[in-house]
Amino acid sequence: MLWQKFIKFISLYEDNFKIALASVKTNKLRTVLTVLIIAFGIMSLVGILTAISAIENSLKGQFANMGSNTFKITSQTFSTHRMRRRGEARIGEPVSYKDIRRFERFYNFPSYQSRVFTATSTATVKHNSKKTNPNITVWGVEGDYLQTSGNNIKTGRFFSQTELTKGRNVAIIGSKLKQKLFGNQTAIGSFIKIGDIRYKIVGIFAEKGSSMIDKTDNMVVIPLIAARNNFYRTDISYQILIQPYNIEFMDAAKNNAIIAMRKAKRLKPKEKNNFDIVKSDNLIRNLMKNIAVITTSTTIIGLITLLGAAIGLMNIMLVSVSERTREIGIRKAVGATPKIIRQQFLFESVFIGQLGGVLGIILGILAGNIVTLIVGTDFVIPWLWILLGVVLTFIVGILSGLTPAAKAAKLDPIIALHYE
């Protein structure tokens, strides 16, 4: 008996689904327009969130390459020069050459250290008749740069101690820059020209890939002393990169660095630090917070778009009820209950919603993954957003079909049969 009721229940739902499917096929233009409305709503939501996921993965990969066990001392950012007052440090002052030399004397914690600064970010690099656009970054470096930067040498070598202390005009270039200037030819031992100065290439960095933050593949690194001599300016601000030998002592290394830097800058006990200690995981944590805000905002925008799609679907379903009033009357006359009529229109609404959802998810993934091509990350399949899209379109289908289904279920069969 129970099994027979179950079979009857399944048969009833199957009949309703077939009727809904036949109605969808009969009104192809209206169905296509409705599906597209929902698809664009889902596409905007899934596409933007997929793009954000791609950017997030790219940022995590870039910061991992920068060395998660390294922190750097740099001048305070987003600050303005202010007059020095009693009990107040000189906010916004750069980390000077004297500062980094005094820091070397005061900082004795067991760790790798390097001193760096950006000589220029608009250099044009030349080799014979070939030259780059004026967008190459030149860094002056010294110390344990390879350990603290997370970069590796693919071919050649790092600077010798003599080259560093004497400020020789030697250079290590990125793999992309090497390919542009030298192609498949050997670059080690050759010369490049930046401005009027020639630099001998002694090394090529290992490729890191496209990055919005790390420009290793398209940069030139020269000894810090050479950078000071060839790119000198009064507003140079240096950075000190530090990586403790034992990462378990990271906090101790940072605390010692703060003490040493305060001594180097000759700050009084009451004065605040006028420098920053920055760790890559702190940077990425702040960026992820900003991305979370963007994600929330775009989700709200996508939901508003879906609300518009839901209203559009409801209007079309109401039109469908009006057009099929006589059909509803006939079905009621032959025994269809209000419940069956209600289910028929709900099935139709949900089916259209799911069609739009599937199309929107596919288009959203494709649109969002255009960003992966730009930032150079792997193809992203946002399973969470796919599930969200399916659930949302189901909810949209139900909500959009409730009012039209209720209207159809309440129709008087006699009045409905007299329609038209």
356 exposed, middle or buried (CB, 10 Å; 0-12, 13-18, 19+)? buried
Residue 84 lies in a domain: no
Q: From 207, 215, 204, select the one nearest 170 (Cα to Cα).
A: 204
State which of 230, 264, 298 marks the end of a domain.
264
Q: What is the pLDDT of residue 77?
A: 64
Based on the domain organization, do 179 and 300 belong to the same domain?
Answer: no
Q: Which two tokens stand for residue 299?
A: 């989700």
Based on the domain organization, do 119 and 217 belong to the same domain?
yes
Point out which residues pair with 240 in neighbouring strands: 73, 115
Domain that holds residue 169: 94-264
* Residue 70 covered by a domain: no
Q: Specify whether 141 is located in the same domain as 258.
A: yes
Helix H or strand E encompassing 113? strand 111-123
Which of residues 264, 295, 315 is at a domain's end? 264
Residues 167 and 245 in one domain: yes
Count of domains observed in the chain = 2
State which of 264, 297, 327 marks the end of a domain: 264
Distances from the Cα of 419 to the Cα of 3, 129, 319, angstroms: 40, 84, 14
Are residues 118 and 130 in contact, defined by beta-carbon separation less than 8 angstroms?
Answer: no
Same domain, 303 and 379: yes
Q: Please state, in angstroms and rounded to a whole number, the distance separating the CA atoms of residues 187 and 383.
A: 45
Query: Does 214 lie in the same domain as 158?
Result: yes
27 vs 68: CA distance, rounded Å: 59
Query: Do 345 and 213 reside in the same domain of the chain?
Result: no
The answer to pTM > 0.85 is: no
Residue 205 has a pLDDT of: 93
Residues 234 and 335 in one domain: no
At 15 the three-state DSSP class reads helix
219 vs 202: CA distance, rounded Å = 14
187 is a domain residue? yes
Same domain assignment for residues 180 and 38? no
Return per-residue pLDDT of the chain as tens, 420 residues: 555 544 544 555 666 667 667 666 666 777 787 788 788 878 877 887 787 777 777 666 555 555 557 889 998 764 444 444 444 444 467 899 999 999 999 999 999 999 999 999 999 999 988 999 998 999 999 999 998 888 889 999 999 999 999 999 999 999 999 999 998 899 999 999 998 999 999 999 988 765 544 567 889 999 999 999 999 888 889 999 999 988 788 889 999 999 999 999 999 988 888 888 887 665 566 666 777 777 777 778 777 877 777 787 787 777 777 777 777 777 777 677 777 777 777 877 888 888 888 888 888 888 877 877 776 667 777 777 788 778 888 888 888 777 777 877 777 666 656 555
Residue 404: inside a domain, yes or no? yes
Give the pLDDT score at 81: 42
**Pair (246, 335) in one structural domain:** no
Residues 219 and 102 in one domain: yes
Q: Are residues 224 and 114 in the same domain?
A: yes
